[in-house]
Amino acid sequence: MSITAKHLLAPLLLVLAGLATAAPDAGNMESLRGKMSLDKDPAPSRIADPLKDQGIQDRVYIHQPPLVPHQVRGYEVDLKVNQCLSCHGWKNAAERNAPRVSPTHYENRDGLTLGDISPRRYFCLQCHVPQTGAEPLVDNVFTPVESLR
């Protein structure tokens, strides 16, 4: 057997062994789709409306992005416009009585401060989400660290 064949055979055997041990558990898994077949599309459920102007929400873990305490439906955030910055940008925040964007959002990945929002922080709704009264899809047993209680 050549060296190449030996190098390919060992990982293949490990994968097969892993599949053999995982197979018994596969029958017990259940997805959020329930028993619906993958070739069928469920009717989309409407996302719950955000809670109206709830004020600043407490954070439950260190570095958690703040939740958005107001409606953002219809906000324009694309390559040319970021409507969030019309209130939360450093220029307008005090006048609009809105929290300013964190200074960390003006840093590039090397820690250098930029003159404008960093491109990797420009699309706010990737991290900052509106607070809703929706019930969780799965049980959550998370508890915040003691210092945040």
pLDDT bucket at 149, cuts 50 / 70 / 90: low
Q: Could you state, in order of their start, the residue ranges of all structural domains in the chain?
A: 49-133
Half-sphere exposure of residue 2: CA atoms within 13 angstroms, side-chain side = 3
The C-alpha atoms of residue 135 and residue 142 are separated, in whole angstroms, by: 15
**Which has more pLDDT, 63 or 29?**
63
Q: For residue 28, is pLDDT > 80?
A: no
Task: Report the candidate in 124, 128, 131, 114 with the shortest Cα–Cα distance to residue 77.
Answer: 124
What is the spatial distance between Cα 72 and Cα 50, in angstroms, rounded to a whole number?
8
What tens digit of pLDDT does each residue of 44-77 get?
666 666 666 667 777 778 888 988 888 888 889 9
119/26: higher pLDDT: 119
108 with 118: CB under 8 angstroms?
yes
The predicted model gives 17-35 an average pLDDT of: 64
Q: How far apart are the first and last CA of the chain?
A: 62
36 band by pLDDT with thresholds 50, 70 and 90 = confident
| pLDDT reading at 23 higher than 70 | no
Beta bridge partners of 113: 107
Strongest mean pLDDT among 31-35, 51-55, 137-141? 137-141
Are 132 and 70 a contacting pair, CB within 8 Å? no
Candidates 3.40.800.10, 1.10.1130.10, 3.40.50.170, 1.10.260.40; CATH matching 49-133: 1.10.1130.10
Q: How far apart are CA 73 and CA 50, in angstroms?
A: 9
CB 64 within 8 A of CB 126: no
Note the pLDDT of residue 82.
93
Query: For 85-136, what is each residue's pLDDT tens digit?
Result: 999 999 999 999 999 999 999 999 999 999 999 999 999 999 998 887 777 7
Helix (H, G, I), strand (E, B) or coil at 129: coil
The pTM is what? 0.58
Cβ proximity of 26 and 20 under 8 Å: no
Q: Looking at 16-25, 29-38, 126-135, which range is the least confident one?
A: 16-25
